[in-house]
Amino acid sequence: MLNRLFGRFSHDLGIDLGTANTLVYVRDRGIVINEPSVVAINTKTNQVLAVGENARRMVGKTPGHIVASKPLIDGVISDFEVTEKMLKYFFDKVHQDTMGFLPRPRVVIGIPLGVTEVERKAVEDASLHAGAREVYLIEEPMAAAIGARLPIQDASGTMVVDIGGGTTEIAVISLGGVVAWRSLRLGGNKLDQDIVQFARDQFNLLLGERTAEEIKIRIGSAWDDGQAVETKMRGRDLITGLPKEVTVTNVQIRDALRRSIQTMVENIKATIESTPPELVADIYERGIMLSGGGALLRGIDQAIHSETQIPIHISDDPLTAVVRGTGIVLEDLDVLRHVLVLSSDDQPFKP
């Protein structure tokens, strides 16, 4: 009863709890938060110093008693307490205008395909402990398809590839359910690590993750478009221990990313091979929809098309496709409740 009372003064939220970024959709208002999934904590006082973008600036630059950490690894919670604190911070930030009442929102959260029962329960418990009164889960490719306004309810095949920071989710959807799927613990963060490893192997240069990400965004690509671009790569020389700068080209970075890109493509092909032929015919006609931050990598659509011979489409604003999908479900929970994942306690749906 008390939760229902507090709920009257709370906003319903759709959340894309990502390895790299967390996005929050507020019912009737749209996307209001898009910040890195990073929390900085003072270990002496156990106090949260910063969350999101402010905390990301601290990564790799903190003194010993301050830890800037990413509480999600490969799309799942690795640090329960820090995740809870991060969610509570976002809940409070959304409810700054609620006249001091404790926020008790209903939330719809996207989760990767194939998560274990323990990993799923961790998301539910972290949300409930952070202040949510009801938690509903939805698989990220399903949310991405809804966010891209694909006809998921039809008796026809729709294929979605959601390339996030920690995972790549590949799913064939028909009649509001997932027919064939693959979930890879490989995403944008792995591409960053590929660049870090390339710098170490080729130049004896130690790069930070942020630097590697900036290089990927600046000149990274998955397909040769005939252009030649280069950039400076700065880090620490592993031999002398001193700062070092080298020039790298887009061809070198593309070679560094090649193996991970090929792994994604091979799993897309394997998913198609396990799909019923009638749905494959639909996919061939409609094409494959790409979403997630990885869809912004230059030439990723051409790389997939060259291997599958299927048209590739990139969703409008692929970074926000999942959170927009959770928002659409939130706006009409009664109609779309069948796309939600049953909670770990198999709790009945509460409208």
d(CA 230, CA 246): 10
The mean pLDDT value for 311-329 works out to: 95
pLDDT digits (tens, 9 = 90+) for 114-165: 889 999 999 999 999 999 999 999 999 999 999 999 999 999 999 999 999 9
Average pLDDT across the chain, whole number: 90
**Nearest C-alpha neighbor of 11 from the set 130, 109, 93, 119:** 93
What SS3 state is found at 28? coil
What Cα–Cα distance (Å) separates residue 228 from each residue in 221, 251, 296?
11, 8, 19
Domain ranges of the chain: 2-142+321-339, 151-186+262-317, 188-256
Q: Is the pLDDT of residue 288 over 70?
A: yes
Q: Are strands 168-174 and 158-163 parallel, antiparallel or unpaired?
A: antiparallel
What SS3 state is found at 235? strand
d(CA 330, CA 339): 12
CATH assignment of 188-256, among 3.90.640.10, 3.40.50.1970, 3.40.50.300, 3.20.20.70: 3.90.640.10
Confidence band for 61, pLDDT divided at 50, 70 and 90 = confident
> Which residue shows structure tokens 């990723």?
300
Residues comprising the chain, all counted: 351
Q: Are 170 and 270 in contact (CB under 8 A)?
A: no
Q: Quick one: what percent of the chain has pLDDT higher than 70?
A: 94
pLDDT of the residue at 9: 61
What SS3 state is found at 233? strand
pTM score over 0.75 = yes
pLDDT of the residue at 225: 87
Q: Quick one: what percent of the chain has pLDDT higher than 90?
A: 75
CATH assignment of 151-186+262-317, among 3.30.470.20, 1.10.260.40, 3.30.420.40, 3.10.110.10: 3.30.420.40
- Do domains 2-142+321-339 and 188-256 share one topology? The answer is no
The mean pLDDT value for 172-190 works out to: 94
d(CA 294, CA 66): 30
pLDDT of the residue at 48: 87
The mean pLDDT value for 214-229 works out to: 94
Fold of 2-142+321-339: Nucleotidyltransferase; domain 5 (3.30.420)
d(CA 157, CA 104): 38
The mean pLDDT value for 201-209 works out to: 94
Structure tokens at 320: 């926000």
Confidence band for 344, pLDDT divided at 50, 70 and 90 = low
The mean pLDDT value for 237-249 works out to: 96
Confidence band for 27, pLDDT divided at 50, 70 and 90 = confident
Residues 6+ apart with CB under 8 A from 265: 303, 304, 307, 308
Q: Higher model confidence: residue 76 or residue 351? A: 76
pLDDT of the residue at 345: 56
Q: Are 137 and 340 in contact (CB under 8 A)?
A: yes
